[in-house]
Amino acid sequence: MVKQMRKHETRVITGNACAAYAVRLCRPDVVALYPITPQSEVVEQLTRFKADGLLDAEMIEVEGENSAMNAVTAACVAGGRVFTATASYGLAFMYDAMMQTAGFRAPVVMVNVNREIPGIHAVSAGQQDLISVRDIGWLQIIVEDDQEIIDAIIQAYRLAEDYEIQLPVMINYDGYYLSFSAEAVKIPMIEDVDEYLSILKKQPQRLKLEPGKSMGAGSHGLLQTYTELRYKHMAAMERAKAKFDAIDKEYGDFFGRYYGGQIEEYRTDDAEIILVTSGSATGTAKTVVDAVRENGQKVGLVKIRMYRPFPRERLTKVLQDRKAIGVLDRSVGFGWNCGPMYQEIRALTPEIGKVPLMSFIDGLANMDITIPNIERMIRDIQAAAEGKPYQETTWVSLEE
């Protein structure tokens, strides 16, 4: 692997287009898509690539997302590399099919453009959709900006299809803020992506449906077998953590961009207080962290990049010995009156100690997570660090 920067193509394109460009580079065999706001451009761009002869995949025009997931799972179990994309209502519609995908250990790669879930109608950004499926056995990655969309999708195929993993991967990015946001991005050359992914060909090949062979996928799981298969699934998810760290480093060596693996630790070395974020709000939060640091305040940021499996060990390590920690959620933890990522970080208390831990809920349904909002969060965390009384959960936009 050469250390110099590989050739890239620079384009000013939206996040959705980034996803389509990245998928094209990975040469999927079968793609089944159904449009939904805010993901429709992914469908349009991939279909355009196919029409222009730039994508050599079988495009299955499905009548709904449930069929899309069923179609790609079947193709995947037959040995193909596949792709689909959805959001919100579409994610809900493919719910049973997604569970099947995970249960089959089919390495499907899917983009989920984060949009609020059904219930209160909204065509707006929010992470509730990815939260609503956190317990079905998919790997979930959440990205911060358009460039990371491209890089994470390529890494997703490397991760999903790895012989030691064989799990479906969901790449999440915020609707509107990333899906429709255009930035100048570096798109790798397809030959380089071929080379990067070629390591998968050198691994043992996974089981697949083959005509004439008696192997079948999706058998009944009874009693002890069921439990054993669940155990193996969990074990694979555990392996995915270190694997993802290694894959990200490898990607960085190859393409020149490295994101920290499961989490990114931003100015955390000497930080007294930490704000934990995910998704597009991370970019805004980093600007605030830099500004606050100018005034001498020792604040750091941790970005959760891999949400499933939960980066327990790395978070435990980075959240040690801090004076206060705040967690920003762009979703709610129903039944807990706090954010879901806060909830999971709270479970680390035995290891990180009883430190002031605060949940901030903001950014639901395209409510902007603004710079003043984040400044307020950091002020509140700082106050808690200084021993002042604090409230556990803050619904930021309701308390302005």
Partner 1 sequence: MKEIRIHGRGGQGAVTAARMLASAFVIEGKYVASFPMYGFERRGAPVQAFTRVDDKPIREKTQVYNPDCMVVIDPTLLKLPTLFAGLKPGGILIVNSSNFNTQADKNLQIAGVVDATKIAVEEIGRDIPNTCLLGAFAATTQWVSLDSIIKCLSEYLSGDMLQRNIRSCERGYREVKILRWQ
Partner 2 sequence: MRAGISRGENIKMAMKKLTYPYESCWSNADELLLYLETGTWRTSRPKVDKEKCNYCGLCALYCPPQCMIDKGDHFEPNLEFCKGCGICARECPRKAITMVREE
Residues contributing to the site for partner 1 (CB under 8 A): 10, 12, 14, 37, 123, 145, 174, 176-178, 180-184, 280-281, 283-284, 286-287, 366, 368-371
Query: For residue 387, what is the DSSP state?
Result: T
CA distance 332 to 100: 26
Which residue stretch of 56-64, 143-151, 334-342, 371-379 sits at the interface with partner 2 (rule: CB under 8 A)?
334-342
CA distance 174 to 57: 27
Site pattern 34..73 for partner 2 (x: CB under 8 A): ----------------------------------------
Angle at 301 between CA 285 and CA 175, to 5 degrees: 45
CA distance 169 to 164: 14
Out of 337, 347, 349, 386, which residue is the one contacting partner 2 (CB under 8 A)?
337
Using the rule CB under 8 A, is 391 a contact of partner 2?
Answer: yes
Using the rule CB under 8 A, is 393 a contact of partner 2?
Answer: yes
Binding site partner of 389, from partner 2, partner 1, none, Cβ cut-off 5-8 A by kind: partner 2
CA distance 73 to 104: 9
Question: Containing H/E element for 360?
Answer: strand 357-361
CA distance 341 to 11: 34
Output 170 or 288, the one with its CB closest to partner 1.
Answer: 288
Using the rule CB under 8 A, is 328 a contact of partner 2?
Answer: no
Minimum CB–partner distance for residue 305 and partner 2 (Å): 29
Out of 338, 348, 374, 381, which residue is the one contacting partner 2 (CB under 8 A)?
338
Output 122 or 190, the one with its CB closest to partner 2.
Answer: 122
Output 181 or 393, the one with its CB closest to partner 2.
Answer: 393
Task: Decide: residue 19, CB within 10 A, 0-12 exposed, 13-18 middle, 19+ buried.
Answer: buried
83, 31 in Cβ contact below 8 A? yes
Minimum CB–partner distance for residue 180 and partner 1 (Å): 5
Binding site partner of 121, from partner 1, partner 2, none, Cβ cut-off 5-8 A by kind: partner 2
Binding site partner of 366, from partner 2, partner 1, none, Cβ cut-off 5-8 A by kind: partner 1
By CB under 8 A, the residues from 84 to 123 that bind partner 2 are: 119-121
CA distance 262 to 304: 7
- Phi/psi-derived region of residue 90, left when phi > 0, alpha when psi is between -120 and 50, beta in every other case: alpha
Minimum CB–partner distance for residue 372 and partner 1 (Å): 9
By CB under 8 A, the residues from 116 to 155 that bind partner 2 are: 119-121
Say whether the peptide bond before residue 389 is cis (omega within 30 degrees of 0): no
Binding site partner of 181, from partner 1, partner 2, none, Cβ cut-off 5-8 A by kind: partner 1
Helices (H), the chain: 15-25, 40-51, 65-77, 88-93, 95-103, 128-132, 146-160, 190-197, 199-202, 223-255, 281-294, 312-318, 340-346, 349-352, 371-385
Binding site partner of 12, from partner 1, partner 2, none, Cβ cut-off 5-8 A by kind: partner 1
**Which residues form the interface with partner 2 (CB under 8 A)?**
119-121, 336-338, 388-395, 397-400
